[in-house]
């Protein structure tokens, strides 16, 4: 009876671990003369093009030297359009040289508002009023701060937090079940 209870409890503890979807967190750490962008962005993929629906969370601090603004899913909206935003196991990259209308925009309170945004745009995109490839922010009434960019650049690096892998936790759970079985046999014999 005790064995069955332990087996049931162990199974319930392992199911969420085995069924969870992986999330990948990247760190922003851009510092320019006119502004800085720091914080994290989380995606559900670390391989290939990242679309709007692949961005699961973010906490990004914008600083224009006068004001700061923190963008989160609770106070802003996100748009990742095109194929320029790519996730890898090494980092999150944006191809500023892509000749199509690719952007990554995070804006508060909604997309299309005049200000309060972070924008990565390729050549010819329309994230803001400039048509050149750049990274920009705008906080309140302080005006737009722009940093020209070119090439396929890492815009966020891989976060280095240690997270137990599902396989390791499953192996530990299996080992615990084995110990329980050995104890049960000793008590029975």
Question: Residues 115-170: pLDDT tens digits?
Answer: 999 999 988 777 876 778 999 999 999 999 999 999 999 999 997 755 555 566 66
Contact by Cβ (8 Å): 66, 142: yes
Q: pTM (2 decimals)?
A: 0.74
Residue 177's pLDDT is 67
Measured CA to CA, the distance from residue 50 to residue 71 in angstroms comes to 19
Count other Cβ atoms within 10 Å, centred on residue 77.
Answer: 17
Peptide bond into 18 cis (omega under 30): no
Task: Give the residue, 15 or 87, on which the prediction is more confident.
Answer: 87
Q: Which residue has the higher pLDDT, 128 or 53?
A: 53
């Amino acid at each position: 009876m005790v064995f069955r209870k332990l087996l049931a409890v162990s199974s319930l503890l392992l199911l969420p671990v085995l069924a969870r979807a992986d999330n990948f967190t990247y760190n922003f750490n851009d510092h320019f003369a006119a502004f800085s962008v720091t914080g994290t962005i989380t995606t559900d993929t670390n391989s290939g093009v990242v679309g709007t629906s692949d961005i699961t969370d973010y906490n990004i601090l914008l600083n224009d030297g006068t004001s700061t603004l923190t963008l989160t899913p609770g106070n802003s909206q996100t748009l990742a359009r095109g194929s320029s935003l790519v996730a890898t196991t090494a980092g999150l990259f944006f191809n500023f040289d892509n000749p199509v209308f690719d952007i990554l925009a995070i804006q508060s309170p909604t997309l299309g508002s005049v200000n309060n945004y972070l924008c990565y745009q390729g050549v010819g995109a329309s994230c803001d009023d400039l048509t050149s490839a750049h990274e920009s922010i705008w906080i309140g009434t302080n005006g737009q701060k722009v940093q020209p960019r070119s090439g396929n650049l890492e815009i966020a690096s891989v976060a280095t937090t240690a997270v137990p892998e599902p396989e390791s936790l499953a192996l530990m759970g299996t080992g615990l079940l084995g110990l329980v079985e050995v104890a049960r046999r000793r008590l029975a014999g």
